[in-house]
Amino acid sequence: ERESIGGEDQLLVRVGVYLNRPRELHVSIACDRAKIACDSIKKAYTSGISYYDDTIQEDVEKQQYIISNIDKAIREGWIKVYYQPIVRAINGSVCDEEALARWIDPVKGFMSPGDFIPILEEAKLIYKLDLYILEQALKKLKTIRKVGLHAVPQSINLSRSDFEACDIVDEVCRRVDAEGISHDLLTMEITESIVGSDFEYMKKQIGRASCRE
């Protein structure tokens, strides 16, 4: 694989190794495991060698489980939303709440965002989670409004792959408008790395959201 590093093209060599001793597995399975080992270092920016072991196999199985079960986890309510208050230092009052996802699985148990978010991002399925979190936050805001309590804005995280997988601006605005919630009560958080990777594109998307308010 040839990549540009520091302005210079470099040929990166990544090797996966499976030690099939004694020859207990068919050669095709051994090759598959060697490829799994190689794929485990595909994000590295240097050449390298990776040896297949049980840890790599566990990571592959976790990845497959998360991808295969994200729809069911949303449908069955395995993914819970927790709200982290953001407090103003000047007066100690809550000015915002960040909606955070936790996956409480009947088979795997508690899974933190570090377990499932990178996998869903790479598979371009994170938009399903982000829209689910948005919907839960909207339900909360409707309940607060119904009982006459003061509502603070809800902060929702968006991933770069959300913009690649669907028209995330339209999906968000459509859900917010359908629930009759003011746009002022939603804060969409976009990381600097997302904006920096394609500034003009992200500027256009943010402009679209502003026009819908």
The chain-wide mean pLDDT, for the chain, equals 82
Confidence of residue 61 (pLDDT cuts 50, 70, 90): confident
* pLDDT per residue as tens digits for the range 69-107: 999 999 999 999 999 998 888 888 888 999 999 999 999
What percentage of the chain carries pLDDT values higher than 70? 81
Of 121, 114, 103, 99, the residue nearest 165 (C-alpha): 121
Confidence of residue 39 (pLDDT cuts 50, 70, 90): confident
The alpha carbon of 55 is separated from its chain's Cα centroid by a whole number of angstroms, namely 22
The alpha carbon of 106 is separated from its chain's Cα centroid by a whole number of angstroms, namely 21
Residue 165 contacts by C-beta under 8 Å, 6 or more apart in sequence? Answer: 124, 125, 126, 127
Confidence at residue 206, expressed as pLDDT on a 0 to 100 scale: 66
How far apart CA 128 and CA 211 sit, in angstroms, is 24
Q: Quick one: 6 exposed, middle or buried, by C-beta within 10 A (0-12, 13-18, 19+)?
A: exposed
DSSP class per residue in 34-101: HHHHHHTTTT-SS-EEEE--HHHHHHHHHHHHHHHHHHHHHHHT-EEEEEEEEE-TTT--EEEEEEEE
Backbone angles phi, psi at 41, to 5 degrees: -115, 20
Q: Does residue 76 or residue 193 have the better pLDDT?
A: 76
Per-residue pLDDT for 159 more than 90? no
Mean pLDDT of 26-48: 73
| H/E segment holding residue 2 | strand 2-5
Contact assessment for residue 140 and residue 181, using Cβ atoms and an 8 Å cutoff: no
How far apart CA 29 and CA 198 sit, in angstroms, is 40
Q: Does residue 168 or residue 207 have the better pLDDT?
A: 168
Identity of the amino acid at 36: I
Parallel, antiparallel or unpaired: strands 14-17 and 79-87: unpaired
